[in-house]
Amino acid sequence: MDGGPLYTAEQIIIPPSLPGILKDFTKAAIRTQPEDPLLWSAAYFDALSRGVAPPVKARYEGIGVANNGGVSKGKLATLHSQMEGETVNVSKLRELWTNIGCKETTLSEILSMGDMNEKEQVIWRYVLALACTTMEKSISCALKTVCEIMSTDSDGGDARISFELFSDLYSFLAKVDGDISEAQIQRSLDWLKVESERFDGNIGPREFKHPSCPKLSTKM
């Protein structure tokens, strides 16, 4: 061998799609600000190869929120977009959870809070609701965040979800809380059920945070 290059410029073929892929990857990394870039990058390209939603936040939330290793609305919205059904395997959830930069210890605490730590399969909407309580000061604020994540309304809209779904999530969180009486739960749901009839059976933060609505909890 004469010590020359193994490849010439003519031998190196760059796929036409590569620049676009790298551009999308760079924009996704900037928005998401992953705590572990290598782990996140592997998860990103693995998701693309399987044709599923990658762990990418819809918008940049700021350095403090993105890099604290904790839970944020943007991270939870990303996880919600990756769910392929109502239930999820806990091992898979832990993988997705850490891929987006949330602490695994936080997930363990959430599962324990909901008495789900011994289960192999968990209901995602309950995990999501409990995760929102770790960021918010009250059940009503947590449910507002849940609605904003789960609603099919456009950003900035009323963020309504079906009354049945809201009732299920509120009843679940109230049970976990333990300090909300059945009578208080029922008063709130009765009032909101009537309100939902004005919106094709849907309900949102504008209704359950309205002054006329019976309080969802003592910490409104």
pLDDT on residue 154:
81
Backbone φ, ψ for residue 153 (5° rounding):
-65, 155
Residue range 34-70, pLDDT digits in tens: 777 888 888 888 888 888 778 877 665 654 444 444 7
| Mean pLDDT over each residue of the chain, to the nearest integer | 86
Residue range 112-168, pLDDT digits in tens: 999 998 899 999 999 999 999 988 889 999 999 999 999 998 877 899 999 999 999
What is the C-alpha separation between 160 and 150, in angstroms, rounded? 8
Q: How many helices (H) and strands (E) does the chain have?
A: 11, 4
Q: Can you read off the two tokens belonging to residue 219?
A: 């910490």
Q: How many residues does the chain have?
A: 220
